[in-house]
């Protein structure tokens, strides 16, 4: 009786079977990769602003403290965006005719605020309080990255739920003394876990279970 299929069909069949498994695996992995990509999280994406404000120049080279511009960061849920008046404190005296700062001067003259675009944005169903984190010893750089090295502001972290939970599950790995929260050059000590556990007690950080409870961030 003659053969129905040629011997080469065995190889083709194996390739087909393996191909199906690869496609199924890719179909399962692809959403996971996309969800954590910069396309979905906006991590490391520089957002164009009406004025190309340089944190590197202002925070590092000039040494301006974060709280000079973000005045409500330690007492409010929102860190605060500086009004034009803050910019003009300096720029009414320096760079007074720079084309780069025309939007700032126009804002000052018209009383219409500069339409800054939010860089670190969380979904509307997520509750986040800057003041709580700052007063519990979470440094600016922990969430915002090395802002003092950014010529243009970008989102340094993915800001995903899993990223937030990593800190809420073990806050002792990230806490620092309150007087170092705004120190962008702060380096954690070798015994960070011991320091963190001590600060958890001193700053009355809530127990782990409370920090990872859904209602903590979703209210």
Q: Where are the domains of the chain?
A: 8-35, 72-81+121-217
pTM: 0.81
Q: What is the pLDDT of residues 75-121, one digit of tens each?
A: 999 999 999 999 999 999 999 999 999 999 999 999 999 999 999 99
Paired tokens of 39: 């396309």
Q: What is the pLDDT of residues 152-200, one digit of tens each?
A: 999 999 999 999 999 999 999 999 999 999 999 999 999 999 999 999 9
- b/e sequence 183-219, b meaning 16+ C-beta within 10 Å: ebeeebeeeeeebbbebbeeeebeeeeebeeeeebee
Percent of the chain with pLDDT over 90: 79
Amino acid 42: pLDDT: 86
What is the rounded average pLDDT of the residues 195-209? Answer: 97
Q: Is the pLDDT of residue 36 over 60?
A: no
How many Cβ atoms sit within 10 Å of the Cβ of residue 80? Answer: 15
Q: How far apart are CA 163 and CA 157, in angstroms?
A: 8
Beta bridge partners of 138: 175
């Amino acid at each position: 009786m003659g053969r129905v299929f040629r011997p080469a069909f065995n190889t083709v069949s194996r390739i087909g079977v393996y191909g199906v498994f690869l496609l199924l695996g890719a179909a399962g992995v692809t959403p996971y990769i996309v969800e954590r990509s910069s396309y979905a999280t906006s991590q490391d994406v520089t957002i164009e602003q009406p004025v190309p404000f340089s944190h590197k120049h202002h925070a590092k080279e000039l040494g301006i403290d974060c709280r000079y511009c973000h005045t409500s960061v330690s007492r409010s849920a929102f860190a605060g965006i500086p009004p034009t008046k803050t910019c003009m404190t300096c720029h009414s005296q320096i760079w007074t005719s720079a084309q780069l700062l025309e939007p700032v001067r126009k804002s000052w003259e018209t009383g219409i605020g500069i339409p800054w675009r939010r860089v670190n944005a969380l979904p509307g169903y997520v509750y986040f309080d800057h003041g709580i984190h700052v007063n519990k010893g979470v440094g600016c750089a922990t969430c915002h990255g090395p802002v003092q090295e950014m010529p243009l502001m970008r989102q340094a972290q993915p800001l995903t739920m899993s990223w937030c939970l990593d800190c809420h599950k073990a806050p002792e790995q990230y806490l620092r003394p309150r007087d170092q929260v705004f120190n962008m050059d702060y380096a954690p000590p070798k015994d960070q876990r011991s320091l963190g556990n001590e600060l958890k007690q001193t700053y009355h950080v809530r127990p782990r279970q409370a920090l990872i409870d859904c209602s903590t961030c979703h209210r």
